[in-house]
Structure 1
Amino acid sequence: MRCAQFRTALSARLDGEPTGLPGSRLDRHVARCAGCRAWLERAGQLRGRVRASAADGPSEEWSARLLNGLGTQGLGGGQAPDGPEPAER
């Protein structure tokens, strides 16, 4: 199984959704895979920032504040938790 599949399951776990994999299998993979451990940490941080921003209450500027925060404190130069964005064509 590839890391992308584990990361999809980890994302589902973070969201409280069914992962499609046993929790013990996810835990073993994260324990062995430094890349997925780092991804999970960044995804958890992002989730926390999104929740904190949403807790401030709805406003017209909520999206702008969130995007601004991600742009300046994001995931390492604008990368998604699972790696760089694909090149534009």
Structure 2
Amino acid sequence: CALSSSLSELGLLSLSLLNLPLLTVYSRNKVELGKSNILICFVNKFYPPAVKVKWTKNNVEVKEGKGDDYSCTVYHQGLTEPEIRFWGHACFPSDMTE
């Protein structure tokens, strides 16, 4: 018995290996008023490995700096549209305690 077609030729391999990225935005340290912190956009469990991640502040792409509302946008071929996670004052209530 011989196999004449590979899974990739049949288009089955690419469908079975496509995993959508999971993403979360969080701060490195506890959020404290007046103290600098680092925001992390954690993207994992996706395939194929090609992915683009960018930060925006108030819907404008940024490299670094201070601001109010940040978002992390992930582009991946498995997504029908870019996946966005926001970080800003709406993400943590004022009465939040550890």
Q: Which TM bucket (shorter chain)?
A: under 0.3
Higher strand share: 2
What TM-score results when the alignment is normalised by the length of structure 2? Answer: 0.26
Higher helix share: 1
Select the structure of larger CA radius of gyration: 2
What TM-score results when the alignment is normalised by the length of structure 1? Answer: 0.27
